[in-house]
Amino acid sequence: MKHQDLLLSKASSLLLIVDFQERLARAMSQKDQVEDRIIRLVEIAHQLHVPCFVTEQYSKGLGSTTPDLARVLTNCECYQPIEKLHFSCFGSPEFNTVMKNYSSRSNLIVTGIETHVCVLQTVHDALMNNYAVYTVADASTSRSVIDYKYGLKRMRDMGAHIVTFEMVVFEWLRQAGTPEFKTIHKFIV
């Protein structure tokens, strides 16, 4: 039996931050820790040339991306929040257009809020669109711990890989001692 490589590669990855918005984030469990992980992932992705995308669910009512995250995202060449009304990012025509521009990349790394709603429905649709999906457990959250926990469980049952911040970073790097590792190391510790 031939096995495919299940480790992430920076060349095949896309990073998606789902709806980490001001008014919504305030109500989230572990908000500060999750935002810290997302910010560090964005900084590392930028250093490794992994495209990053951010969505905003009904920004008129829920506000914009949190200021600290938005500041870091402005360094990314492809930063432009994608407005959406559907819970799944794939319900946005603009999101689908952006994704088509990166059709050579097959690994979608998903972070954001809420784990059991927008993240889960996006993961479902990404799997239906033949992406290998990696949900970052410590860079996602919900208002309640039980919704978070069962959101992750359901995504795993659907076929998504549940990973952590460090798993993503070290799989992108693959080895220590390189110039990339030395540049990235400060974002890990």
Catalytic site includes residue 125: no
Catalytic site includes residue 19: yes
Whole-number Å distance between alpha carbons of 82 and 29: 24
Question: Pick the catalytic residue: 52, 76, 89, 118?
Answer: 118
Whole-number Å distance between alpha carbons of 35 and 140: 9
How far CA 56 is from CA of 7, 149, 162, 166, in Å, comes to 29, 23, 23, 25
Quick one: tokens of 156? 């795993």
Question: Pick the catalytic residue: 19, 52, 89, 138?
Answer: 19
Helix or strand or coil: residue 166? helix
Listed in sequence order, the DSSP H helices in 15-144 are 22-25, 31-47, 59-62, 67-73, 93-100, 120-128
Question: Pick the catalytic residue: 84, 89, 125, 138?
Answer: 84
CA-based end-to-end distance of the chain: 39
Catalytic residues: 19, 84, 118
